[in-house]
Structure 1
Amino acid sequence: MSNLNGTYILDTAHTAVGFVARHAMVTKVRGKFDEFDAKVVVDTDNPANTSATATIKTASVNTGNADRDGHVKGEDFFDVEKFPEMTFTATSFDIKDEKAGTVTGDLTIKGTTKPVTLDVEIFGVEEDPFGNTRIGFEAATEINRKDFGIDFQAPLGSGGVLVSDKIKIEIEGSGIKEA
């Protein structure tokens, strides 16, 4: 598994950091963040040396609808003026093999930090036509937004709610190995 070892910087041009929420209990709304950075150090020989950090600019949220984006940036959701970033810092790794594992870490949104575990699927390491060594992966988890102080809600006539408490976080990533 040593071919995974190295320090990788997320390639923002080939990475998507997104989320999925249920809207009005009948459909899904997808969003993404356009500004983020992350660094991952992989050491399969000594997992204690493995680390990962990520920072996401909350004002870069993009759901494809300007009115909704304005609401999501406001105090009801991300409150981007007061909390311009959300962060993730890994605390442990369970590398099952070269293709899968989990990463547990501290996710901070709106000043609240909670542990989350991401299921990670690794697609491999490859040299691109420009001489860069790349790692490709997907990672996913589910959080309860209320755990992070995002508790806006509007009741529906049916007894349901406008925005689901459970939010799926999905990352499709490409990292470039530092020389």
Structure 2
Amino acid sequence: LAQAAANYETVPGAAGSGQVKVGDKVIEAPSATLTAGGHKFDEDSTKKIAAFKKELGEAMKAAGYPSKADPAKINTPLVVAILSVLVLYVTMVYGPIAAMLVELFPTRIRYTSMSLPYHIGNGWFGGLLPSISFAMVAQNGNIYHGLWYPIGIAALTLVVGLLFVRETKDVDIYARD
């Protein structure tokens, strides 16, 4: 359901059972068994999962869910305008960040001190954003729930920046012999 961008709700049921209700139709979710190596499903489970996905797709189509986005309904000028504004915001951040990072660290450790947190932040927090956001959506069932991760990271960054990053206006950035 998360792959189909459909909101859903998880409700408790009998142990070992699962159902999906789309409109008035109730579909039994299959129980699957992994192979001996534990890396993929056995052949019978694979067939059950494929049949479940097919039945779920048909039920969603019957309930009025589109199978894919209609390109004719996309407001292309608005999408381009929003993306342009977002790019402008990013450039407003990346311009001053270089100067600020240079002023934060002494010359002898500046390159490592700038590079390590910058790349850890971009790599871990930015690189894992799709995985963490999708996991949040899959767990919660709300297709917008994954937005809480970047909002939380931005809020955490604001708090850390306000409390721990010092003013660097009068810092001498040149190396001394």
TM-score, normalised to structure 2, is: 0.21
Task: Name the structure where helix makes up a greater proportion of residues.
Answer: 2
Q: Whose radius of gyration is greater, 1 or 2?
A: 2
Task: Name the structure where strand makes up a greater proportion of residues.
Answer: 1
